[in-house]
Amino acid sequence: MTRYITANGEEVEIVEETRNGDQYYVATGVPIVKPMELATGYVPREWVAASTEMENTHGCTGWDGTTPTVNHPRNHSEFSWHDPERPEDDIVLAANEDVQETLGVGTVENDRFDGEYVRADIAINADEAREMGGEAADIVDDIEAGRGLEVSSQYLHAELPPGEYDGEHRTNAKAIAAPDSVALVPNGRGVCSVEDGCGIAPGVAANVADYPDVGAISAGSDDPVSPQTGQGEGQRTMDNGSQMAGVRQLFSGLASLVGSAAGPKDPAANSTETTGAATEGESSESPVDDDTDHEMNGTANTTFEGQSVAEIMGVVGGTIEPQVDELMAEVRENLEDEYDGDDVEEIMGAIGGTLTAHVDSAVDEMSDQLRWEDDEPESNSDTYHTANMDRDDLIEEITANSNIKRDSLEGMGDTCLETTHKNIVGNADGGDDDDPEDGQDDDPTADDADDVDDTGGGTIGDMTPQELGETLREQGFVTEDAIGDQVEATANELEREERAKNIVANSAEYDSEDVDWIADLPEKELERKERGATQTGGAPATSGTGAFGATGNAGGDGDVDTDDMPDLEVN
């Protein structure tokens, strides 16, 4: 059966369905929120539109998958989620299993922005609502009697800096950070009423927000963040007020930058992405610079013939380091166009440090994996260390025991240099030919697995430039994809660290020494601790740029003044 009720002069279709044996009323195309002045400030059109694309508190996208609740869930003593440390009647989030079981009556589906409103289909479980009784049953009665129903959207918000929004200068503006729920309000009225275009027949669409961990989404005091570049799925959990909030925004804008900064994609180009041998009349460069060509005893498919793993890794390391430096210089230039000096240095330090560690680790790992035999005998490299050697000593010993040039070695980072020394000098005391103690290869014709000029039974000459290029990519060296992944990984690490700091700040159970291990917890456990921190530790203040607060806009006795709304976390 299909019903129709009027919403702001337009018909809203109510479709009766049976789902899993239960009767549902599905209100289609319900206007739930629009750009307008609300109790805590103006919500700009671009953020209303962006709310359909961002991650919501339930882990889905936009308003889809959020919960329609009987009124807004509040901090009342009769409910299991009641927190005596928080003010009575505080609004709480619906992304809580107890809230959903107690007040939830269906699901929100098929959200879309039509240019003015966010609309969605609200599927109401009529059987469940009748069983709940009270106002839940009133909701069904109103629909069946054609009296309509008011709705009130609830979401997480963030402060926006003063500026021009939707054609007017506004000193108090709010960004939608994550949709949470749609309250069904049988006996209330809110700011976004049917006269404003919201609700199902005479109605309401209050806009409620609270969640301190969403964090600042402003790129600067005078530069509001655009939802097209600074907001989206998975970008809502930066710490409140953190200078690192821009890192996640930065990643979405780096694609074109790293495409140019990572170097040419031509297979014949001098990069770590060498993809094949030379065609007739052309030469295919290996991932080395011009000064090292003659060191490799050839070009094209024989470039690496006769060279040891350590020697080739030395050249590769010396090539990668300048590439990283060049790329980071491009990243810095891009950042300086968008951020002030302190923010640039903090972001560069985080990205650069993590990237350097990643490259150094990859060099070490690759040098091991290029030894093709899995059963290669262990050498004294397990106990090898260079703790008492400076860079000059390392370089002297490497050049004395290999054909690697000093210039290539001086361009390496410390970890790359130590790894090269380990492979050339540290493994030299493991020959199998005659005297196992002297480290000398008494039979240079023997193909011993521990020879320093071996790769565990197969020389590096068995690899073509294409194979080496593939190995480099597999090991995560600096390619277009690798740098993008690294920036994203860095942003994720920073995000988790900020969330851990929030947990510590809001819980008496932890102190600053617990931040690192909390940040390393699995996502579900981290979320659990976030909820626990809220229940036991209180919440930070809402004032200031980047702060997050709860706002109730339902009218009448249900008014919630923004001054009464402390920051909340997911309960």
pLDDT tens digits along 310-354:
656 665 555 566 666 776 777 777 777 767 777 777 777 766 666
| 8 Å CB contact between 570 and 527 | yes
Q: Are strands 173-185 and 67-70 parallel, antiparallel or unpaired?
A: parallel
Query: What tokens were used for 302?
Result: 């024989």
pTM of the model: 0.41
Q: Are 206 and 88 members of one domain?
A: yes
Same domain, 368 and 267: yes
Residues 422 and 518 in one domain: no
Q: Phi/psi zone of residue 397: left (φ > 0), alpha (ψ -120 to 50 degrees), beta?
A: alpha
Q: CA 194 to CA 179: how far, in whole Å?
A: 21
Whether residue 525 is found in the same domain as residue 559: no
Average pLDDT over residues 426-433: 49
Same domain, 21 and 138: yes
In a domain, 242, yes or no: no
Residues 230-254 have pLDDT tens digits of 332 222 222 222 223 333 333 333 3
**Does residue 452 lie within any of the structural domains?**
yes
What is the reported pLDDT for 31? 87
- Does some domain include residue 323? yes
Which residues in 521-544 are b (16+ Cβ under 10 Å) and which e? beeeebbebbeebbeebbbbebee
Q: Are 116 and 169 in the same domain?
A: yes
Asked if the structure places residue 423 within a domain, the reply is yes
Residue 324 or 297, more confident: 324
User: pLDDT band at 34, cuts 50/70/90?
Assistant: confident
Asked if the model's pLDDT at residue 93 lies above 50, the reply is: yes
Model pLDDT for residues 275-285, shown as the tens digit of each residue: 333 333 333 33
Residue 567 pLDDT exceeds 90: no
Rounded average pLDDT over 400-406: 72
Q: How confident is the model at residue 119 (pLDDT cuts 50, 70, 90)?
A: very high
Whether pLDDT at 51 is above 60 = yes
304 and 186, same domain (yes or no): no
CB atoms within 10 A of CB 555: 15
Instruction: Report the range of poorest mean pLDDT among 200-214, 345-359, 456-470.
Output: 200-214
Question: What total of structural domains would you count in the chain?
Answer: 3
**Most confident of the following: 39-43, 69-73, 468-472:** 69-73
Residue 40 and residue 119 share a domain: yes
Share of the chain above pLDDT 90, in %: 12
Verify that 139 and 191 share a domain, yes or no: yes
For residue range 134-190, what is the model confidence (pLDDT) as tens digits?
889 988 988 888 877 778 888 888 888 888 999 999 988 888 888 889 988 876 544
pLDDT at 367: 58
Residue 232 β-bridge partners: none
Query: Residue 552: pLDDT above 70?
Result: no
In a domain, 330, yes or no: yes
Q: Is the dihedral of CA 533, 354, 242, 89 positive or negative?
A: negative
Tokens matching residue 495: 């995000």
List CB contacts of 239: < 8 A, sequence separation 6 or more: 213, 215, 216, 245, 498, 499, 501, 502
Same domain for 368 and 394, yes or no, is yes
- 160 and 68 within one domain: yes
Write down the mean pLDDT value for the chain.
Answer: 63
Residue 214: which domain range? 12-220+548-564
Q: What is the pLDDT of residue 136?
A: 92
Quick one: pLDDT at residue 525? Answer: 73
Q: Which residues contact 516 (CB under 8 A, 6 or more apart)?
A: 500
Task: Report whether pLDDT(440) > 90.
Answer: no
